[in-house]
Structure 1
Amino acid sequence: MQGGSGRGGARKPHQGGGEFGRHFETSKDSFEVDAVKFWKYQGLGNDFILLEDWDDSSPKDEKFVTRLCDRHFGIGADGILYLQQSDKADCRMQIMNSDGSEAEMCGNGIRCLAKHYFDYKEKKERITVETLAGIMTLDLKIESGEANEVTVNMGPPRLKCKEIPMDCRDLPTDEKGRFIESNILVDGRAIKGTAVSMGNPHFITFEPFKDEEIDKLGPRMERHGLFPRRTNVEFASFDDDGLKARVFERGVGWTLACGTGACATVVAAVLTGRLPYDIENRIRLTGGELWVRLPKDLSAAYMRGPAYRVFKGEIEDW
């Protein structure tokens, strides 16, 4: 989950048929008509509230989102997933971070949404999902009728400063306009890192910081002036067990896992010669492991990981 650009205006519900843009009704089961059904999902501890929003009418204002995501006075989550109709794909995902900002893309969230789509809508082992970062293709691994692992084609990593976006006018970039293994100043301190977009901005550093330094740097770097839309920040390192990372997620804070962050970190590691191309590279996050493969032509990043439903319930005070 990562904050970013908003989307103005509600779309009219799709009325047609065809392979895409099918019209679904919100599942009601035995719930009261005046209550709204929700589902709670998690991927590596990165947790979400999912709302079926087929007519694009569910509240998305900051007050509503922050209230539901509050872990003491609400349901509690890192963000809200809105499952919507799409004329371009099987469905659409809109995601709001726990601070009320909208995200372009969320790797853990889209795996959870794919599981929900399989469990409640259509038993398809491959689905397409429209997002602000583009249309994603997801392959679900089915065992005993359950979809608990999903592989996502996250699309190609975007590396040019203008694509991230990042203001690199006074910074060293390579011949392609990429910011790779170069320094930015944070409170007068030079920090070396790489900028990557996986549909949302990331800054990855392999500097050997102490935990207490990381705790302070995360929120400072998220709002660095070089990133007009803010940025996610990954503090990556290697130990005897391989690659690991801590993620300060834009619009959320420290999270147990971040799917786009895992992809961006592997991209940075591959580009700087720390990991190989064309194989699944394991990355350890606080909440567990993800696997990411990056082809040498940089045509896509493939992420594999779990998705679980935790519980479902109803919201009475809409």
Structure 2
Amino acid sequence: MQLTFYKYQGTGNDFVMIDNRTEFFPKNNTKLVEQLCDRRFGIGADGLILLENHPQYDFKMVYYNSDGNESSMCGNGGRCLVAFAKQMGVVENRAEFEAVDGYHFATIDAHGIVALQMKDVDAVNQHENYTFLNTGSPHHVQMVKDLKTLDVKSEGSKIRYSDLYGSAGSNVNFVHQLENDIFAVRTYERGVEDETLSCGTGVTAVAIAMHQTGKTNNNIIDLNVEGGKLKVQFDVDNGKYSNVFLIGPATFVFEGKIEINQ
């Protein structure tokens, strides 16, 4: 079977996009998803995303990590899917869709900048050396002094598999403050089991954690990731974060075809 796919990236976080509105894709074939995401034997990506029909909204997002398993919310993937849905003619400059963590609203401008509304955050767990919160995916946020030289894969893996988070694990974000409202971030992603160039739910978690812990008083925060720049804005009331938006570019890379065995 010949599969048509589309490749997108959001600040270096890259995804294989498949138009599955006719529901042809073998969604339970974990090995196939893993192969398609493989950078040597497949297309290569941090994850694979299916665009599907939804009875109420514009579309549904189904997201797989590169290990082939369905996963929690992916912010950059959601932004890229909005751009893909526009390319497919499903939406124009705004979108409503359902993901694994529920309803999302997004806008996309003429320059491909997507503003994606993330889930509200009601709980931010502060600890002595780190902060933990869920922005659609679980995130450990930890400030470090030597971000540029840090071995993110090694140190992130230790925390991800530690007793802190049990068998489910957590994504791990290492942060360095550059200015009052600008932070540099590097992220270890579970499911990818390595550092990625960008993580949307991760920078969202960092922005909220930095505000909650008093590192910044701003509600519009710039995040510098290895693959570019993102922005997070939110409203906050008594430690409850709402109208949370992840903002940044979503870029079409190429379209192709690949032979697959179902």
| TM-score exceeds 0.5 | yes
Report the equivalent of 2:49.
81
Report the equivalent of 1:217.
155
Distance 2:132 2:114 in 1: 26
Distance 1:104 1:110 in 2: 11
Deviation for aligned residue 1:101: 2.2
User: Does residue 90 in structure 1 map to residue 58 in structure 2?
Assistant: yes
C-alpha contact (below 8 Å) 1:54/1:83 kept by paired residues: yes
41-50 or 236-245: bigger deviation:
236-245
User: Does residue 179 in structure 1 map to residue 94 in structure 2?
Assistant: no
Deviation for aligned residue 1:230: 1.2
Deviation for aligned residue 1:215: 4.0
Report the equivalent of 1:163.
none
C-alpha contact (below 8 Å) 1:84/1:92 kept by paired residues: yes
Report the equivalent of 2:106.
138
- SS of 1:103's partner is coil
User: Does residue 39 in structure 1 map to residue 3 in structure 2?
Assistant: no
Q: Structure 2 counterpart of 1:257, which letter?
A: S
- SS of 2:26's partner is coil
User: Does residue 150 in structure 1 map to residue 96 in structure 2?
Assistant: no
Q: Deviations over 1:85-111 (max 9, x none)?
A: 112321011111011222221111111
The within-5 A match list for 1:156-305 is: 156-159=120-123, 178-180=124-126, 182-183=127-128, 192-209=129-146, 211-212=149-150, 214-228=152-166, 229-239=168-178, 242-252=182-192, 253-278=194-219, 280-297=220-237, 298-305=241-248
Name the CA shift for 1:90/1:239 in 2 (closer, same or farther; >3 Å).
same
User: Does residue 306 in structure 1 map to residue 243 in structure 2?
Assistant: no
Distance 1:307 1:212 in 2: 27
Aligned residues: 253
Q: Structure 1 counterpart of 2:143, which letter?
A: F
Name the CA shift for 1:300/1:240 in 2 (closer, same or farther; >3 Å).
closer
Distance 2:117 2:173 in 1: 21
Distance 1:262 1:317 in 2: 35
Deviation for aligned residue 1:240: 5.3
Q: Structure 2 counterpart of 1:246, which letter?
A: R
Name the CA shift for 1:269/1:94 in 2 (closer, same or farther; >3 Å).
same
C-alpha contact (below 8 Å) 1:88/1:130 kept by paired residues: no
C-alpha contact (below 8 Å) 2:152/2:187 kept by paired residues: no
Report the equivalent of 2:72.
104
Deviation for aligned residue 1:55: 3.7
- SS of 2:125's partner is coil
Distance 1:212 1:299 in 2: 32
Instruction: Give the number of the structure whose residues are more often strand, by fraction.
Output: 2
Distance 1:109 1:151 in 2: 12
Report the equivalent of 1:164.
none
